[in-house]
Amino acid sequence: MSLYWLGMIKELEQLWKQLEKSEISKQWIKPFAEWMNTPKVEVLPDRRFTKIWIEAPGLTPSNRKKWAYKVIGDQLLIRGILNTEYSAVSDLGGWHKESQRSSFTKSIPLPYPVKSKPNAVRYADGVLALTFERKDTKHDQDWQGLRF
């Protein structure tokens, strides 16, 4: 390797170290890296129910048991283990495959508060589908009598 390329590599390493310490890294790079290791989610609300589709390809029965959820107000927290596989074929015919197993916790904002138990849970074709019923908050805002 020529001295030119060695100098370029050292310069890039120094720039990377500076970037890691900067505010840009804290605001953009680290959250993006964390986002890449969590499943992609789509929230589909209507008047009475909210459907949540979570991409989770290749879940084994043992990994399914490690998934959990919690509803807090208008937030859904999901945690679990995700298996991801990447494969690529080069133009020259070479083949590369990687697999990764990572645990995650993800907070999913919901359009309105929902009941704590899902009405339906379904896993098919690598997608976990959850359906939650809208929580009736009208009674939560009413004055309640005290009994003492």
Residues 99-143: pLDDT tens digits? 777 788 889 999 999 999 999 999 998 899 999 999 887 665 556
Residue 90 domain-assigned? yes
pLDDT band at 60 (very low <50, low <70, confident <90, very high): confident
In the chain, % of residues over pLDDT 70: 77
Residues 74-84: pLDDT tens digits? 999 999 888 76
pLDDT at 38 over 80: no
Q: Which range, of 45-59, 64-78, 92-106, 108-122, averages the lowest pLDDT?
A: 92-106
Residue 9 domain-assigned? no
∠ Cα 40 124 56 (to 5°): 25
In terms of residue numbers, what domain contains 117? 38-137
pLDDT at 87 over 80: no
Structurally, the chain folds into a number of domains equal to 1
Sequence-distant (≥ 6) Cβ neighbours of residue 6 within 8 angstroms: none
Categorise residue 81: left if φ over 0, alpha if ψ from -120 to 50, beta otherwise: beta
Instruction: Identify the pLDDT of residue 26.
Output: 60
Q: Which residue has the tokens 């208008």?
A: 74
Nearest C-alpha neighbor of 84 from the set 42, 56, 125: 56
| Residue type at position 45 | P
Residue 44 domain-assigned? yes
Task: Provide DSSP, 24-91.
Answer: HIIIIIHHHHHHHTS--EEEEE-SSEEEEEEE-TT--HHHHTT-EEEEETTEEEEEEEEEEEEEEE-T
What is the value of pTM for the model shown?
A: 0.63
CATH of the domain at 70: 2.60.40.790
Residue 98 domain-assigned? yes
In degrees and rounded to multiples of 5, residue 12 shows phi and psi of -65, -40
